[in-house]
Amino acid sequence: MTQASSRRGGRPEPPEPLPVPVADSHCHLDIAEGPDDWAAVEAAVERAAAVGVPRVVQIGCDVRGARWASHAATRHPALLAGVALHPNEAPRLAAAGQLDAALAEIEELVRSNPRVRAVGETGLDHFRTTEEGWKVQEEAFRAHIALAKQYDRTLVIHDRDAHEDVLRVLAEEGAPDRVLMHCFSGDPAMARECVRRGYYLSFAGNVTFKNAQNLRDALAVVPLERLLVETDAPYLTPVPYRGRPNASYLIPLTVRCMARVKDVDEETLCAAIAAATEEVFGSWEAA
């Protein structure tokens, strides 16, 4: 089945609810549902809550998306926000002479809204950005690290094909108190190093993919107290719906795969994920 035909298959049926509620720690509702369709956003949040995913961290990856994330988190009690300039956005903004102004707007959103709990996703991407853009990516990454430390926000890391450089920059700058490796993509050695440094690791629907044994091997070495779960919706839809748009209500499929890898029952894993998520982002009820 092609991706296009599977996307025409419609929304998957909701999975069985989780025994303990967890949060989707990384979602892009503005992309999945559209920034101008609040009714669709509300419906997506309700579908997730119905299967035990009552809380979502909405991530903005450019200035427009960051504004939307901040507004959405203020408007809806189920949402918190993370804001940043995506690593692939930084070289484009720099080329247009707009990077400093964009970083200043990200800082203002962090400073002014207590429901913006994270600076991210930021980091390095050596897959989509060619080598001539890596220097600007790194400069933007360092600026985001400083911002997270200044305002005591969690740093949410995007790391694609740049593991060693991401760890190097974090070591050189000094990491904030809370670092979350979003959509973890490294091997067991990378996972162990992140745990050694005190970072948290979030796994997405790709951990369910047949060809993702490396991710399952990495997951296996991460202590429960350092684990989060996410969709990265509308991307990385878990098996058996790979190819269709992802959504927070499909989190139970990923959690159940994670429980099998960790050889723990769902309730134990969900409780651990819920506790770690609150350590990373704080309470949804606060502020």
| Binding region for a divalent metal cation | 26, 28, 121, 158, 182, 232
Determine contact, residues 113/150, Cβ cutoff 8 Å: no
- Hunting for tokens 């990077």 — which residue is that? 99
Lookup: tokens for 119 = 């600076």
Give 145's contacts (C-beta < 8 A, 6+ positions apart).
122, 155, 169, 170, 173, 174, 175, 176
Cis ω on the peptide bond leading into residue 54 (within 30° of 0)?
Answer: no
SS3 209: coil
Sequence ranges of the binding site: 26, 28, 121, 158, 182, 232
Q: Are 28 and 283 in contact (CB under 8 A)?
A: no
Cα torsion angle, 38, 148, 154, 203, sign: positive
Orientation angle between helical segments 163-173 and 134-150, nearest 10 degrees: 40
Q: Which two tokens stand for residue 159?
A: 């790391």
CA 183 – CA 207 distance, rounded (Å): 9
**What 3-state DSSP class applies to 284?**
coil
CA atoms 88, 89, 91, 92: torsion sign: positive
